[in-house]
Chain A
Amino acid sequence: MKLKPLYKNKTLEFYGYEKDINLNIPYFENGVSAGFPSPAEDHMNSKIDLNDLLIEHPSATYYVRVNGDSMLGVGIVSGDLLIVDKSLKVTNNCIVVAHIDGEFTVKKIKKTKKKIFLQAENTNYKPIEITEEMDFELFGVVAHAIHHFV
């Protein structure tokens, strides 16, 4: 999948969608009408598929809905849909879904020299240090958040 830059200003970039041409020829059950052909016909492309953009590893991708405000700082708002890719490697500062003592949570991974923390992106929440005694397991890396405006 390639993104084709279309237009750019200071704050926004617009992209078109370029993909190997894969046209589905429409099938007309009752024959084709003989009117003037649509001038747009030659410029038609396949439709944009968000799956191509958002899902790199389909068999490792899971969806998660969030509820809460602890990750507001990175733009994860209550009600957002997260796209979680379990195949991705966990790195410092990435956002992860993990479970601690049997409960799921979404936090940012913070590694220092000796310690690992799960950090909220909201000053009302304290970082959680991951210790040996904890029952801690990573679920996957949050690759995208989808926010609904309507």
Chain B
Amino acid sequence: MIGLVDCNNFYASCERVFKPNLKNKPIIVLSNNDGCVIARSNEAKALGVKMGEPVFKIRALIRKYKINVFSTNFALYGDLSHRVMDVLKTEVKKLEIYSIDEAFLDLSDFRSSERAVFIKKKIKQWTSIPVSIGIAPTKTLAKIANHIAKKNTEKGVFTLNNEMIIKKTLSVFPVENLWGIGRKYAHKLKLSGIKTALDFKNADAKWVKHNLSINGILIQRELKGEQCYKLKTYQSRKKSISTTRSFSKEIKKYSLIKEAVNNFANNCARKLREEKSCCSKVSVFLMTNPYKSKSKQYHQKITLFFPTATNDSLEISRMVDKALKKIYINDYSYKKAGVIVHEIKPEREVQISLFNKIDIKKRRNLMYSLDKINMIMGRDKVHLASQGIDKKWQLKQEQLSPCYTTQIKDILTIKI
């Protein structure tokens, strides 16, 4: 059996850990730059706050119902996520961390749902984060079981372990909520009269293959209880690493945008070094504000190659500068920019190009020292001059909660 652990309203729950007075109160968390709603507590959902809604549209609602608004605090969410996963690691042998708030568990020794209830309680006690657990023979069914656990059960644990229950559950489960069925496929299925997961399970396999390709077949087999998606217990090397940000205000000035993309480049380079990888390509993009439909829009992306794959901050920055020069046009104000590094391979497999000019060994030592200093002294304590100092382009995070678990200056103070 496979278990799927999913944290309930994770970001909202994180905000509650150190603010018990928010229990049963509506909470929303905003995207980077405080633009849109990206997480809601159950209370906020009940008030009709939609996912992805721009915050300016619900100002009145926020005031009327005293909704608690937070900027994303990834330091806090990341730390609590680690803690949840660490607790899970003490309980199961194999675990696939699927996202910041979800993990698949290997429950091949599963006997009763008591075990899951125990795991759920342990996570709640150790981390204060409420979770739901769905248990089933396959990942796709475990996703469904989790859905039921969250919505329709008291104890937050649900097991799909016999044909009767599976049939009954699938017959009322909308096909568009199935894991791996996107909007396009859902539309196609509905047009053909396939409305529930059960309809899909019983659909003609040839028809599914023809209309939904191989992925559709795999989902269908998983619904029938055949494991097609195995637990990925190792962290596979990322295909690309990106750093993209919206600016707090629109920026026109070249020097400021250059400063921003240099920071993004440096961030990507650091992440590459953390996982001992190098990249062969870097892309830079720039865009204007798509919400300002009246003003002229511009969106441009460019990709450049490195002769020798690299994770060197200086090299990636230099390439990013070159890329930016090619796509920057003085006529626009930009809202968003990003740097993406791709074609990632392990550092030790890098082939040095004939035209390589820099002393790679020396530069690696330099980067190693840079990372070491910044690890001890704090992120970006030593940085490239091109990253600038005052960072005017930085995020707007007006409602940021303290980093209770990762910054000593931010730890909880209690009056006793």
Q: Identify the A interface with B (CB < 8 A).
A: 29, 57-60, 62-71, 76, 81, 86-87, 97, 99, 102-107, 120, 135, 137, 139
Q: Are B86 and A66 in contact (CB under 8 A)?
A: no
The answer to whether the Cβ of B416 comes within 8 Å of any Cβ in the partner chain is: yes
7 of the cross-chain contacts (CB-CB < 8 Å) are A59-B126, A62-B411, A67-B415, A87-B125, A104-B20, A105-B414, A106-B416
The answer to whether the Cβ of B351 comes within 8 Å of any Cβ in the partner chain is: no
With A57-B126, A106-B416, A139-B128 known to touch, is A99 a contact of B20 (CB < 8 Å)? yes
Q: Are A64 and B408 in contact (CB under 8 A)?
A: no
The answer to whether the Cβ of B412 comes within 8 Å of any Cβ in the partner chain is: yes
Q: How far is the CA of A29 from the CA of B362 in the complex (A)?
A: 12
B contact residues around A76 at 8 Å (CB): 416
Q: Are B125 and A97 in contact (CB under 8 A)?
A: no
Q: How far is the CA of A60 from the CA of B79 in the complex (A)?
A: 11
Q: Are B413 and A65 in contact (CB under 8 A)?
A: yes
Q: How far is the CA of A59 from the CA of B122 in the complex (A)?
A: 11
Q: Are B414 and A59 in contact (CB under 8 A)?
A: no
B contact residues around A97 at 8 Å (CB): 414
With A59-B87, A60-B127, A86-B128 known to touch, is A106 a contact of B414 (CB < 8 Å)? yes
Q: Are A66 and B21 in contact (CB under 8 A)?
A: no
**Known pairs A67-B413, A102-B21, A102-B22. 13 more at Cβ < 8 A?**
A57-B126, A59-B82, A59-B126, A60-B83, A62-B405, A62-B411, A63-B405, A63-B408, A67-B416, A86-B125, A87-B126, A103-B20, A106-B416
Q: How far is the CA of A58 from the CA of B87 in the complex (A)?
A: 10
> Chain B 103-135, CB within 8 Å of chain A: the 1/0 string?
000000000000000000000011110000000
Q: Are B416 and A66 in contact (CB under 8 A)?
A: yes
Choose from B23, B83, B416 the contact partner of A68 (Cβ within 8 Å). B416
A contact residues around B23 at 8 Å (CB): 102, 135
Q: Are A104 and B126 in contact (CB under 8 A)?
A: no
Choose from A57, A60, A66, A99 the contact partner of B413 (Cβ within 8 Å). A66
Choose from A81, A103, A139 the contact partner of B21 (Cβ within 8 Å). A103
Q: Identify the B interface with A (CB < 8 A).
A: 20-23, 82-83, 86-87, 125-128, 365, 404-405, 408, 411-416
B contact residues around A70 at 8 Å (CB): 416
By beta carbon, the residue of chain B nearest A106 is B416
Residue with the highest number of chain A CB atoms closer than 10 Å, among B87, B408, B411, B416 = B416
B contact residues around A102 at 8 Å (CB): 20-23
With A86-B127, A137-B20 known to touch, is A59 a contact of B412 (CB < 8 Å)? no
Q: How far is the CA of A99 from the CA of B21 in the complex (A)?
A: 9
Q: Are B82 and A66 in contact (CB under 8 A)?
A: no
Q: How far is the CA of A77 from the CA of B82 in the complex (A)?
A: 32
A contact residues around B415 at 8 Å (CB): 66-68, 105
A contact residues around B413 at 8 Å (CB): 64-67
Which 5 pairs, one residue from A and one from B, show the smallest C-beta to C-beta distance?
Answer: A102-B21, A59-B86, A68-B416, A99-B20, A60-B126
Q: Are A66 and B127 in contact (CB under 8 A)?
A: no
B contact residues around A139 at 8 Å (CB): 20, 128
Q: Are B412 and A104 in contact (CB under 8 A)?
A: yes
By beta carbon, the residue of chain A nearest B80 is A59
Residue with the highest number of chain A CB atoms closer than 10 Å, among B20, B21, B82 = B20
Q: How far is the CA of A57 from the CA of B416 in the complex (A)?
A: 25
Q: Are B412 and A64 in contact (CB under 8 A)?
A: yes
By beta carbon, the residue of chain B nearest A138 is B125
With A58-B86, A59-B87 known to touch, is A71 a contact of B416 (CB < 8 Å)? yes
Distance in angstroms from B177 CB to nearest chain A CB is 32
By beta carbon, the residue of chain B nearest A120 is B416
B contact residues around A59 at 8 Å (CB): 82-83, 86-87, 126-127
By beta carbon, the residue of chain B nearest A64 is B412
Q: Are B21 and A64 in contact (CB under 8 A)?
A: no
Distance in angstroms from B366 CB to nearest chain A CB is 12
B contact residues around A68 at 8 Å (CB): 414-416
